[in-house]
Structure 1
C-alpha cells in the first residue's frame, strides 16, 4: 500500500464534513415542547394549590357550622321529644334555630339527667297554658292569670299560636327546668317564655290536661304529671 504524504493528509482532512447544524424547524419544535412542559408544570401547580385552598375553606366552614355540635351536651341534637304523661304522650318538634339552640341544649341535658321524671303539671290555666316545674317560681304565669280568659277569645292569626313548648326566661338554678305548653295564642309570649318547640302530635292530650279540675290557684286537684321524656331523631 502506498504511504500518504503529510501534505496529502492535511488536504484530505479539510475535505471531510464537519458536524451537521440544527435546522430552524428542529429548534422551533424543541422550543414548543419546552413551553408545553413548562405550561403543564405551572397548570399542575395551580390546580393543587387551588385544591388545597378549597379543602381548607371547607374545613373551616364545617367547623363554623358545627360550633355548637362540639358541645358535649348537644353533640347529637335530637329533632323530637316525646313527653309521656299520665294522660298520654305529647310529641314535640324541637326548634334549633338561633337563640333556641342553647335552650334546646339545656332541655336535652335535663332529659338525660332524668329531671322530668315525675314532674307535676302544677299550674293549669284553661285557654292559656299548662305548666310543669317548681311552683314557687311560677312567675311566668303569675301575672297572666287575670288575663287568661280574654286570651282564650283571641284569633289564631297572632304571632304566637297554641301548642308551643317553652320555658321561663328566668335562669334555671340547681338544674331546674320548667316547661310551658300553650293552649291558646299568647301575644306577649316572648316577654315571659323562651319558646323552643311545637307540639306536632298529642294536642288532644294537652287539651285533656287543660280540662282537669283546679283550685283557686290553678293547681290540679288530682296530681297529674310526666312519666318520662324520650329524645328521638325520627317519629
Structure 2
C-alpha cells in the first residue's frame, strides 16, 4: 500500500519531491538569503498560475500546488472569479539537505474576488520534479477571512461638496485648509471644532516636526494638558471607519489606545514605504491610492484620522523642513495664529 501511494502521488508531484515531503517536518535552517528579482519573479508566476487554475476550478489544482492537507484553506475560493494581486517574499532561506530541494521561503499572497480581498502568509518550498524545479505551498502560516471592499466611496477621495464645512489653520508660514469627516470620526471632529473655537490652539507652535513623516501640534510639553479635550479628559479612538494616513491626513496623537486629547499631527510624506505597505492588509483601492499619493499606512488602526488637507500642502512641507534639535523640536517654531471654519464654495 505504501508503494502504491507513492506512485499515485508521483504522478502529480514527482518521486524526488515525495522523499523531500516526508522530511519537511524536521528541517534545519542553514542560511538566510536576500530574495533576488528572479526569486520574486518565480514565486509571482507560480502563484499567478495557481490563482488562474484555482479560479477555473481545475480538479487537481490543490494537489498540484499545495503539499499535504493545506489545500483545504483554499477550497472556498475554488471556481470563483479571482484576481491575482501580489506575491512577495518576506524571507528566503536554505535548509540542510539535497541542494535541489533545500530552498524555502515565507511569502505574502493576496488574491481578490469581486467582493473581498484575501491575504495569506505562506511557507513555501522549492522542490524538484524530475528536471523541473517548482515552488509548492508547504504550510499556511496565517490567513484572514477576506476583507470586504468598502461599499461607499472613500471619503478622503471624494470631491468637496458645496457648502461643506472647511477648516483653515492660519500659520506664520501660510494657511492650511482641510476638510473634516464628521460622519466617520464624529467625536474627534467635535473635539477639534470645540477646542479650535475656544482658541485652544491660537498662539501655539508646531512643536515636533519630522520631514517625510509628520508635523505635530497641541500640548506636547508634558505639562499634563495632553488630556485636555471638550470631554473633560481623554476620549476613545475612532480608528476602524475607513479613513487612512494618506499624505495630508490630519489625525489625533495619543499615548496608547483611547488616549486622545488635543495633540494632533498632519502626515507629510509624498511617497510610501513599499515594504510596510505590502505588510498591510488593505483593500486594493486603498493600497493603490497610497502608492499614488504617499502616506504612512503603518499608522492605520492606531491613530484617529479625522481630516484631510485639500490646500496648503506646500505650507505643511515648509514646516516639516525646518531645522530641529535632537528631539525633533524646531529651532525657530512656526506658530498657529488662528483656526477658523468656513463653508466651501458652491461653484
User: TM-score, normalization: structure 2?
Assistant: 0.37
Aligned CA-pair RMSD: 2.1
**Matched-pair contact (CA < 8 Å) for 1:123–1:131:** yes
- In structure 2, which of residues 289, 311, 314 is the aligned counterpart of residue 201 of structure 1? 311
- In structure 2, which of residues 188, 192, 210 is the aligned counterpart of residue 103 of structure 1? 188
> Which of structures 1 and 2 has the larger relative contact order (alpha carbons within 8 angstroms, sep 6+)?
1
Give the number of the structure whose residues are more often helix, by fraction.
1
1:166 maps to 251
* 1:132-151 aligned within 5 A: 132-136=217-221
2:320 maps to 210
1:79 maps to 165
**Matched-pair contact (CA < 8 Å) for 1:81–1:229:** yes
Shift of 1:78: 6.6
* 1:174-185 aligned within 5 A: 176-184=261-269, 185=295
Does the C-alpha gap of structure 1 residues 123 and 113 become closer, same or farther in structure 2, counting only changes over 3 Å? same
Give the number of the structure whose residues are more often strand, by fraction.
2
2:176 maps to 90
The answer to whether structure 1 residue 227 and structure 2 residue 337 are counterparts is yes
2:297 maps to 187
CA distance in 2, matches of 1:193, 1:160: 9
Paired residue secondary structure (2:204): coil
**Matched-pair contact (CA < 8 Å) for 1:84–1:226:** yes
- In structure 1, which of residues 125, 136, 142 is the aligned counterpart of residue 210 of structure 2? 125
**Matched-pair contact (CA < 8 Å) for 2:182–2:189:** yes
CA distance in 1, matches of 2:325, 2:311: 28
Partner deviation per Cα, 1:178-230 (whole Å, 9 max, x = no partner): 11000021122234421001000001000110111001110000021200001
User: Structure 2: which 5+ runs fail to align?
Assistant: 1-162, 223-243, 270-294
User: TM-score, normalization: structure 1?
Assistant: 0.53
**Matched-pair contact (CA < 8 Å) for 1:78–1:231:** no
Q: Which protein has the larger Cα radius of gyration, Structure 1 or Structure 2?
A: 1
How many matched pairs? Answer: 135
